[in-house]
Structure 1
Amino acid sequence: MARILPKSGSPFVIFSVVFFFIAVAVAGKPNSFSRSLSQKKIGLKKEKLSHFRLYWHDIISGPNPTGVIVVGPPSNTSVTGFGLTRMIDNPLTMGPKMSSKLVGRAQGFYASAAQQELGLLMAMNFAFIEGKYNGSTITILGRNPVFSTVREMPVIGGSGLFRFARGYVQAKTHTLDLKTGDATVEYNVFVMHY
């Protein structure tokens, strides 16, 4: 009977053959923690652009404020309140009056992030409670220089009908009570989603 492997090199040859098959097997498999998906198979249809006009009511006065300070500014702070952080659960309505139809809540926080002007870091979800968008959210994260006429912030994502959302919002102050600090802000949301 003929020998297939020479006696002198057999451990090296066997190791090489085994290593080759392991390398082929590993290289042929996708990563165990990721895989490519078809958009259609997970229910993503054609991407569309939607526009929403909402009114954001920041009520920081009275017995039931919708925005509360969670971190106060240090005592040596600037006139802008640099460092102040406020948690919010603000109503989103269809019109500028609080009596307008409630369509959602703006939940998150804003913080005074500028020393020379009133500039806020905004991080919030627009959580919808009305119509086909009930249970869906749009996530906004960005800089809000409060005294600019129109402020633009990015939409960085969402959930529900806004999965894979991207876009921007434009905020424009509708009313501001300088005594109480309460404000109503018009938000125009331009969002790409499936």
Structure 2
Amino acid sequence: MTENFICLLLPLLVISQTFPAAGEPDPMKYPYRIEKLSHFRFYWHNIFSGPNPTVVNIVPPLEHKNKTTWLFGKVDMIDDPLTETPEAGSRLLGRAQGLYAMASQEEIGMLMAMDFVFSTGKYNGSTLTILGRNPALEKVREMPVIGGSGLFRFARGYVKASTYSYDIKTGDAVVEYNVYVLHF
């Protein structure tokens, strides 16, 4: 029994000696910090029209003969402005960069994968990462915050998205985002 246990441990000892740990973080760089909850509200501008669209289709939807599939399979890449108010010319707070894919055959349901990249104030250079399902026709949609960088290291939380305006002719949309995030 003891021999089997030693045989199991031997590869672990070899691995730990072959690949040394990167080291523990210096506790002086990270003094005891209290996690706080922050709430942000901004507006996401998804622009298909005009000379500078912020959305580019990278995978078109597949044609399906006998049924409406709500653009199932379509994938769009985004670099959308995040503004302080719903007006396009309002103060730019950052950008939403990433992609969304039409992931439902029965409704307008998207898989969103994006970073909110902040460019103003104390959060300049920090990011929050969103990954989740967005059923676009619901009044309020909730998606998780799964991480971040800069001042948002170890972030977790959620966003609530509500469509502020949508132009059916162009596909342009303005969406209000309320972000609730725990961070240090």
**TM-score where L is the length of structure 2:** 0.85
Q: In the alignment, which residue of structure 2 is the partner of 1:110?
A: 100
Counting matched residue pairs gives 172
SS at match of 1:181: coil
Rg: which structure is higher? 1
SS at match of 1:116: coil
Q: In the alignment, which residue of structure 1 is the partner of 2:57?
A: 69
Pick from 81, 98, 122: which aligns with 2:71? 81
Q: In the alignment, which residue of structure 2 is the partner of 1:91?
A: 81
Could you say if the C-alpha distance between residues 83 and 35 of structure 1 is closer, same or farther in structure 2, counting changes exceeding 3 Å?
Answer: same
What amino acid is the match of 2:44?
W
Shift, 1:79, TM fit? 3.7
* Aligned-partner Cα distance in 1 for 2:177–2:101: 19
**TM-score where L is the length of structure 1:** 0.81
Q: In the alignment, which residue of structure 1 is the partner of 2:90?
A: 100
Could you say if the C-alpha distance between residues 75 and 42 of structure 1 is closer, same or farther in structure 2, counting changes exceeding 3 Å?
Answer: same
Pick from 156, 181, 187: which aligns with 2:177? 187
Pick from 108, 122, 130: which aligns with 2:120? 130
Q: CA RMSD in A?
A: 2.6
Shift, 1:33, TM fit? 3.2
Q: Is the 8 A contact 1:158 1:164 kept in 2?
A: yes
Shift, 1:122, TM fit? 0.3
Q: Deviations over 1:68-89 (max 9, x none)?
A: 1000011227340000000000
Q: Deviations over 1:49-105 (max 9, x none)?
A: 000001000001122100010000112273400000000000000001011100000
* Aligned-partner Cα distance in 2 for 1:56–1:164: 24
Q: Is the 8 A contact 1:39 1:45 kept in 2?
A: no
* Aligned-partner Cα distance in 2 for 1:143–1:60: 21
Q: Percent identity?
A: 58
Could you say if the C-alpha distance between residues 152 and 39 of structure 1 is closer, same or farther in structure 2, counting changes exceeding 3 Å?
Answer: farther
